[in-house]
Amino acid sequence: MPPEQTEYKVGQVVEGFRIMAELGRGARSIVYLVQDPETKQVWALKHVEKLGPKDDRFLEQAEMECRISGDLDHTAIRKIYKIVKKKAGLLTAVKELFLIMEHVDGVPIDVHPPKTFEGAVHIFHQTASAMAHMHDRGYAHADMKPNNVIVDDKGTVKIIDLGQACKLNTVKPRIQGTPDYIAPEQVHLKPITAKTDIYNLGAMMYWILTRKFIPTALAKGDSLVGSLDPKLMAKPIPAIEINKKILPKLNDLIMHCVEVDPENRPADMQVVSDRLNLIHGILLARQGLSDSKFNVDPPTDS
């Protein structure tokens, strides 16, 4: 049987931090809520462990995540402050590592989606602004989805996962991304660009406001389903046809973001951010007209 991932229990001290709770899990990682016993400062501690000969990529992703975080400086992106590498022996390769990260006190928007259009667009705008910053620094997020967006009780956004992030124009050796939000070019192993993040964000906005996923080119085994040719790939149903309360300008932006051909999407993420800011202003100006009109209230999944 393959080895099992190391699990730390509440109360244990790991790398000088006391485990308080488990926050989440990945393929070869566990994230814990921890506290420095001396300063009482609370952090998030990500433990990544190599369990087999093919697991080096998980360590490499975590190291890349730390490097990229160090190049970013945006309040809506979680900071990673330190990386600790551990070897099984003096002459062996790294077997596990720990990332000491900013603790984010909030809830992902897939667990608690925004209840109003004003709240939703405010979240979308903060997210787009953060990714525009990433693009300016030369990186793509490459995995924007609702559970990577944490919102606190004041409506402030924090993007928590840079695990798939990469330099702009990277061609990845394997399909990476989340199927329900993945861009067609990611499936076809084309370069990851700012336009890829625009699609991912558009697919996320579509789901938040409709609770429906956009059909996309998905991987099935070793074959690829779908096409990068817009003529061969059906366009998704406009979001406004599923949720008629969506502002037409917002619907137009979402559908612009999820164009199959990257060239047909908005020019860059700053354009998306600016349009979301304008839409947020329109919604705020109309807020007092009818409270019920601006509740998101999407249809339930069938």
Domain total for the chain? 2
User: For the segment 137-184, what is each residue's pLDDT rounded down to a tens digit?
Assistant: 999 999 999 999 999 999 999 999 998 999 999 999 888 888 889 999
pLDDT at res. 26: 83
Same domain (yes/no): 76, 139: no
Same domain (yes/no): 66, 163: no
Domain contains 45 = yes
Same domain (yes/no): 252, 284: yes
* Boundary residue ending a domain (102, 118, 150): 102
**Which residues constitute the domain of residue 32?**
13-102
Same domain (yes/no): 147, 76: no
Report the CATH number that the domain containing residue 247 is assigned in CATH: 1.10.510.10
Taking a C-beta distance cutoff of 8 angstroms, is the pair 43, 103 a contact? yes
pLDDT at res. 280: 95
Same domain (yes/no): 169, 280: yes
Residue 271 contacts by C-beta under 8 Å, 6 or more apart in sequence?
Answer: none
User: For the segment 84-106, what is each residue's pLDDT rounded down to a tens digit?
Assistant: 999 877 667 899 999 999 999 99
Same domain (yes/no): 91, 117: no
Domain contains 3 = no
Report the CATH number that the domain containing residue 84 is assigned in CATH: 3.30.200.20
Taking each helix axis from N to C end, the angle separating 194-210 and 269-286, rounded to the nearest 10 degrees, works out to 30
Whole-angstrom distance, CA of residue 112 vs CA of residue 107 = 7
Residue 270 contacts by C-beta under 8 Å, 6 or more apart in sequence?
Answer: 132
> Has residue 219 got a pLDDT over 60?
no
Whole-angstrom distance, CA of residue 276 vs CA of residue 268 = 13
Same domain (yes/no): 270, 191: yes
Same domain (yes/no): 115, 246: yes
Same domain (yes/no): 72, 116: no
Same domain (yes/no): 184, 272: yes
Average pLDDT, the chain: 89
Q: Report residue 27's pLDDT band, with 50, 70 and 90 as the boundaries.
A: confident
* Boundary residue ending a domain (102, 137, 160): 102
